[in-house]
Amino acid sequence: MRVRSVHGGSFARVTPGAPEQSWLYLKASGGSTTASCSAAECNLQVMPPVGEVTLSAAELDTLRSWIAAGAPAPTTRAR
């Protein structure tokens, strides 16, 4: 985790426990357009691009909750 985002300036891709500091969440929720990302490499466009299929409110909430919970890795189920 905390891998620096290529186009998010000083933002990490995912900051466990902090959705508002996670470039992935900011891009998916539209928050990147108003983020305080001032580096030359900042891409403030939303993800996916406007006009494409977007995440539903429930999916965004799931993403936010996952990051807020520490972004735990998936677990495998016993068979």
Residue at token pair 């933002």: 11
What are residue 58's phi and psi, to 5 degrees?
-65, -40
Structure tokens, 26: 């900011």
pLDDT score, position 73: 86
| Domains of the chain by residue range | 19-68
The token duo for 15 is 């900051």
pTM summary value: 0.74
Give me the average pLDDT of each 10-residue run along the chain (79 residues). 66 91 89 76 74 85 96 76
